[in-house]
Structure 1
Amino acid sequence: MPFVPPPRLRRRALALLPLGLAGCAAGVGPHQLDLDQMGYADALGEGLKRQMLLNMVRLRYADVPTFLSVSQLIAGYQVQATGQLGLNAYPNAAPGNYATVGGTVQYTNRPTFTFTPVTGQRFAQSYLRPLAPAELLSLAQSGAPVDLLFRLGVQSVNGLPNGATQDGRAQEASGGFLALMHALRAIQAAGAVSLRFERGKDGARVFLRLGDDRGPAGEAARQVRRLLGLPPGMSEPEVIYGRSPRGRGQVAVLTRSVLQVLYELGGQIEVSAGDVARGETRPNDPGERLLRIRQGDRAPADAYAAVTYRGRAFWIEAGDYASKGVFTFVHVLQVLAESGQGQPTPIVTIPAQ
């Protein structure tokens, strides 16, 4: 005699099926939130690296840089679950066909991205405005290498010129500037570099604390004073923006804009002789390179950042730690320049329906 499921067993099957489908649907939300947060964060970071690298390459070839910011990310997904259960009672049911169970789960994902071109006043303020000296020094106080920050973002300090590109030719940093960077790095390593802010009727004033001559970096502090022409024993010179100091006991820092930083680093890209012969770019300049960007037919699969420009690949190698560090700090300077404009940060909105 064929087996007929008892009423209690049938009721359990009917109750468990929708619960199982509902549990499946409910688990999608938290799981997908974690995937979206990490996935979009990674994709946004990679996009920012590629855009900055591409702008360096474009400037190397006298092309127009483009800046496109992601103003909003919306990842909306929808989960629908349905289920059905049927019972065929004896004696009408065929043997082995007493019950039927079915169900469907439908998942829909509709991501939406909003891009905003950086133009007009926002472009001028973010990329053409020179960085404030206090911004660079604040980063140094937070632990960023002071010599690297100055090599990237400064044109000169009290008239001591940094390396720069003039009239299409690279000019090396002066010996005094390099010696100043070495001494400042020694003071920073001893934990003696800090800032003091003073508010007055003419605005905020910034003072650089160098430590005294008896500290662990006393010799480096004395060298900084000699190179900058500061009075002996002065431990807190005032930092101002400009090419030369306006008074005794001041440090004049002539900073670069973000566009200048990208242009200077783009000038260090090694280009092919064919590109130079065709007049697409200027010849390679000998000398020290803060950032090494390779060029070839195809970038390595594990490149730290890679872009394609005019059929050629440009990339930073994953094993080039020094170049990656420089590239990262350029990104920090770019974010610092943009943050002063009151622009909102990208928003990730994930509605669950």
Structure 2
Amino acid sequence: MSARLPRRAALRLARGLLLLGLAGCAGVGPQRLDLDQIGYADALGEGLKRQMLLNMVRLRYADVPTFLAVSQVISGYQLQTTATAGLNAYPNAAPGNYATVGGTVQYTTRPTFTLTPVTGQRFAQSYLRPLAPAELLSLAQSGAPVDLLFRLGVQSVNGLPNGATSGGRAQEASGGFLALMQALRQIQSAGAVNLRFERQQGGPRVFLLLDADHAPAATAVRQARQLLGVPPGTREVEVVYGRLPNGRAQVAVLTRSVLQILYELGGRIEVAEADVRRGETRPTDPGEGLIRIHQGDREPRDAYAAVPYRGRCFWVDAADYRSKGAFSFAYVLQVLAESGQGQPTPIVTIPAQ
């Protein structure tokens, strides 16, 4: 752009353009880093939530789940500014034409995203492999609700069955399993969940301390020991994978895989009656589940997570704290299963020029 201005105004404008260019070049890096760190973190989080919800819906309709990992994000920025100024002196200067000023500003952004499908051995190791009992207990010791973790990631404890979906029909958890979860939750609330780990060549071993001397949780500890069949005088038991224990001082935990967790949560998704009549899916069994996922023609604006599928919308209500908690911890278990299985860690590269 170019214009002819009075001398004082032109000089002021030229100085302003020069300062603007210098400030832009100096600030684009730090400013964009702050904005991109928050922006990409939010976008990645929302995308992963939607992908997990979509897989729940697809499993609800006997469809194939898909997992796509974000392996790299490259976002490049370039800011170019130029400014020119000229002064017309006597005798060439005419009244009202003492100076000329011109300048250009160019801003360019080129984001690039690399997405990697999770297939083959990585898929089997991450989503078909049952979770290790030590992984669940480690999360519980870190403060995650032990009852919610077990309701999500466990099929049974010492033969006490959790709620499950079999043949499209939901089966409620046994009374013994629910009583054990309540006792473990009370023990955790009292800060009395104690674990001991042993690292061996065949894998880590984990032991659960069940000491009734802890006053705030003494009653809950005694109840847990009774439900687990712990012999009198045994202070700690080894937690092993399986349906039933092999020894007297063991607790057998039959865990689920990530795909099983998504299938179980998807089993309680609300579906349209027309879809059931056409045989696309089974009706939703009544009863209270860990999560409630709605369906309709259009999702609300403030949905916690929402996805379209076959002309319908499915979403988790933002005001449903219980469902959001179950959804979030299911995602944590998925991340835990993916860790150490060769999953690419997202790399964000932001070059600024």
Q: What TM-score comes out, normalization by structure 1 length?
A: 0.94
Mark the runs of 5 or more structure 2 residues left unpaired by the alignment: 1-5
Structure 2 counterpart SS, 1:332: helix
Structure 2 counterpart SS, 1:104: strand
The residue aligned with 2:215 is 215
Structure 1 counterpart SS, 2:216: coil
Whole-angstrom distance in 2 between the partners of 1:234 and 1:179: 21
CA RMSD of aligned residues (A): 2.0
The residue aligned with 1:72 is 72
The residue aligned with 1:284 is 284
Distance 1:201 1:49, change over 3 A: closer
- Give how far 1:312 is off: 0.3
Question: Does the 8 Å CA contact 1:25/1:105 hold for their aligned counterparts?
Answer: no
Distance 1:245 1:26, change over 3 A: same
The residue aligned with 2:335 is 335
Whole-angstrom distance in 2 between the partners of 1:13 and 1:32: 27
The residue aligned with 1:107 is 107
Q: Deviations over 1:239-266 (max 9, x none)?
A: 0000100010100000000000000000
- Give how far 1:119 is off: 0.2
The residue aligned with 1:45 is 45
Whole-angstrom distance in 2 between the partners of 1:119 and 1:165: 26
Whole-angstrom distance in 2 between the partners of 1:105 and 1:241: 64
The residue aligned with 1:85 is 85
Query: What amino acid sits opposite 1:60 in the alignment?
Result: R
- Give how far 1:203 is off: 4.2
Structure 1 counterpart SS, 2:34: helix
Distance 1:214 1:336, change over 3 A: closer
- Give how far 1:94 is off: 2.3
Q: Deviations over 1:101-131 (max 9, x none)?
A: 2211211000000000000000000000000
The answer to whether 1:135 aligns with 2:135 is: yes
The residue aligned with 2:194 is 194
Query: What amino acid sits opposite 2:207 in the alignment?
Result: F
Whole-angstrom distance in 1 between the partners of 2:52 and 2:199: 36
Correspondence 1:90-239 to 2 at 5 A = 90-200=90-200, 202-239=202-239
- Give how far 1:79 is off: 1.1
Query: What amino acid sits opposite 2:332 in the alignment?
Result: V
Q: Deviations over 1:44-86 (max 9, x none)?
A: 1100000000000000000000100100000011111111001
Mark the runs of 5 or more structure 1 residues left unpaired by the alignment: none
- Give how far 1:234 is off: 2.4
- Give how far 1:15 is off: 7.2
Percentage identity across paired residues of the two chains: 77
Query: What amino acid sits opposite 1:179 in the alignment?
Result: A
**Count of residue pairs brought into register by the alignment:** 348
The answer to whether 1:265 aligns with 2:265 is: yes
Deviates more, 1:74-83 or 1:201-210: 201-210
The residue aligned with 2:311 is 311
Question: Does the 8 Å CA contact 2:7/2:97 hold for their aligned counterparts?
Answer: no
Query: What amino acid sits opposite 1:225 in the alignment?
Result: R
Whole-angstrom distance in 2 between the partners of 1:23 and 1:202: 59
Q: Deviations over 1:144-163 (max 9, x none)?
A: 00000000000000000000
